[in-house]
Structure 1
Amino acid sequence: MAEFVHLHLHTEYSLLDGACKVKELISHCVKNNIKAIA
């Protein structure tokens, strides 16, 4: 089965659309074994 990758993401650097902080995002990805984001 092919792995799923989120290709659209808003972080604190998306000036008007920022929804999450990069450090929190990375922690979430590590905790949930998410191997790729974009």
Structure 2
Amino acid sequence: MQPFVHLHSHTEFSLLDGISRLPDMVRRAKE
């Protein structure tokens, strides 16, 4: 089975509901 990746996510640029920082998300994706 292939690893599953959520492509729909919210960052600090999403108004009102973004809590994730984009650099943190990129770092986590590389792990």
In structure 2, runs of 5+ residues without a counterpart are none
The structure, 1 or 2, with the larger RCO (C-alpha pairs under 8 Å, 6+ apart) is 1
In structure 1, runs of 5+ residues without a counterpart are 33-38
Q: Percent of aligned positions with the same letter in both sequences?
A: 45
User: TM-score, normalised on structure 2?
Assistant: 0.69
User: TM-score, normalised on structure 1?
Assistant: 0.62
| Aligned length in residues | 31
Runs ≥4 residues deviating over 2 A = none
